[in-house]
Structure 1
């Protein structure tokens, strides 16, 4: 597996890392098998979060069996104040069954107010710096879906890494990534497959890896087959040819900017609608010529787009500020 430096941390990490969101769907035994496969395939970077329900715990079981020293761990917390972050760091250490974590990140910073709180006298950064001094974390990072926030974090001097979406559709951070490399920051790419919206997954990952300003791409994986497939791209890496580039950029153009990345932050819906799945089915219906199959799947759901009461709670949670209520109306129109 090809490795790159995670900025000034000095850590050498595989260019394909493990995104820890989907593992929460698995049981303990399956999760351990997944972590074993990561090691076999040469993936040494694991990214998870306190907010991914059982993800940290399941990864912890795998680490206990395979060996803590085989991996470089990154996790993150939504805590913004000192006490909450201090508590979350300890929970992460316990869940991951370790006494140190290489990278601890402030997770999904959305507003200037949140950013200021993190850096305040009683903010989360104070707890992270204390943990770093004690050796329980080694480096501090920041993640966001807001370009202005992540730019501010990059220039602040407080963080060693940034994590931001990047794929053939979402390229707004390319200049920032150049600047981050100049500053010695590690660049972690989330959503390299646009949250699963991109069909040509191999081409999308290869597109991301062509950017030498990034350190690692972290697609979410929940099967051995996915790990083997994605790892191969980091082992036998090759640039896109002209034909492949045209294919992936054409798909990106078709997706546009108003689409669901299936991050799941909109959940839970009071009407128990699986919102990302609604948009997934509509994508199959409108873009991929699977009209009958998609409509049958949609109509078989107990709770679907047509059941939306337009409370708007989902929109307050969406990191991309998508007009979810309007988008669900479109799903109901096409599939209902």
Structure 2
């Protein structure tokens, strides 16, 4: 597995890391197998978050059995204030069953005002800097879906890493990644498959790791097959052929700009609609010529797009500012 230096942290990380969102869907036994297989395949970077439900707990149990010292461990929190961050850090340490965390990140910073508060006297950065002085965390990072916010963040000099979506559909952060590399700041890529919207994961990952400004990409994995195939990208290091690049970008262009990355931040819906799944079924129906299958799956759901009452709560949570209500109406138009 190819390894790269994670900016000024000087941590040596596998170019393919383990994204911790999907692991919450598996049981304890499978979680251990996934982390063990990742280790065997040369993956040594794990990224999770307080907000990923049982992810930290499952990973913590797995690390206790596979070996904490075999991984560079990163997690993150949505807390912006001093006291709240201290509480979150304490929970992370307990759930991850460790006495230190290699990288603790501010999760999904969505505005410059949020960034300013984090940096303020009563902000959460103060809590993490104190924890770093005690050796409880080694480095501090920040994640956002906005290149503009990350650009401002790296100018402060307070963050050793940044994390942002990047894939053949979403390339808006390329200049920020270049700037970060020049400033010796580590670059972590989330949403490398555009939240599952890109079906050819291998080609997308090969496109991403070919960018020398990127330290590590973190596809989410919940099967041993995914671990094996994703890890292979970091092992064989083949560049895309012209034909493969054409195939990849044809699919990327077909997605347009307004598509669901299935991050789940829009949930829970007051009407109990699984919003990302609505768009997933619409994608199968529209783009992948699986009309009958998608329609039958959609019709079998108890709560569907048609049950949306347009309250708009989902749109306020969406990090991509998608017009979810309008998009759900489009699902109804196509699937009924």
TM-score by length of 2: 0.99
What SS does the corresponding residue of 2:83 show, helix, strand or coil?
Answer: helix
The alpha carbon displacement at 1:252 in A equals 1.0
Where in structure 2 are there 5+ consecutive unaligned residues?
Answer: none
Q: Deviations over 1:247-303 (max 9, x none)?
A: 111111111110000000000001111100000000010011111111111011100
Counting only pairs closer than 5 Å after superposition, residues 139-178 of structure 1 correspond to structure 2 as: 139-178=139-178
SS at match of 1:87: helix
1:138 paired to 2:144: no
**Which residue matches 1:243?**
243
Partner of 2:288: 288
Note the C-alpha offset of 1:240: 0.3
Alignment of 1:105-116 (within 5 A): 105-116=105-116
Offset, 1:201 = 1.3
SS of structure 2 residue aligned to 1:89: helix
Q: Structure 1 residue 48: deviation in Å?
A: 0.2
SS at match of 2:319: coil
Cα deviation 1:190-245 (Å, max 9, x = unaligned): 00000000012111111111101000000000011100010111111101011111
Residue by residue, what CA displacement relative to the aligned partner does 1:71-119 show, whole Å, maximum 9, x if unpaired?
A: 0000000000000001111111111111110000000000122111100
Aligned residue number for residue 213 of structure 1: 213
TM-aligned CA deviation for residue 6 of structure 1: 0.3
Q: Distance in 2 between matches of 1:11 and 1:147?
A: 24
- TM-score, length-scaled by structure 1: 0.99
Helix, strand or coil for the counterpart of 2:62?
helix
Corresponding residue SS for 2:162: strand
Aligned position for 2:198: 198
**Structure 1 unaligned regions, length at least 5:** none
Figure out how many residues of one structure are paired with residues of the other and give that number: 336
What aligned pairs does 1:82-121 form with structure 2 within 5 A after superposition? 82-121=82-121
SS in 1 for 2:140: strand
Counterpart-to-counterpart distance in 2, 1:147 and 1:91: 29
**CA distance in 2 between partners of 1:239 and 1:201 (Å):** 14
What's the CA shift string for 1:149-208, capped at 9, x where partnerless? 111111110000000000000000111111100000000000000000001211111111
SS at match of 2:131: helix
> How far has the Cα of 1:147 moved from its partner?
1.6
Q: Measure, in 2, the Cα distance between the counterparts of 1:84 and 1:28.
A: 28
Give the match's secondary structure for 2:133.
Answer: helix
1:254 is matched with 254
Which stretch of the first structure deviates more once superposed, 22-31 or 52-61?
22-31
Secondary structure in 1 matching 2:243: helix
Query: Partners of 1:254 and 1:210 in 2: how far apart?
Result: 23
What residue number does 1:331 align with? 331
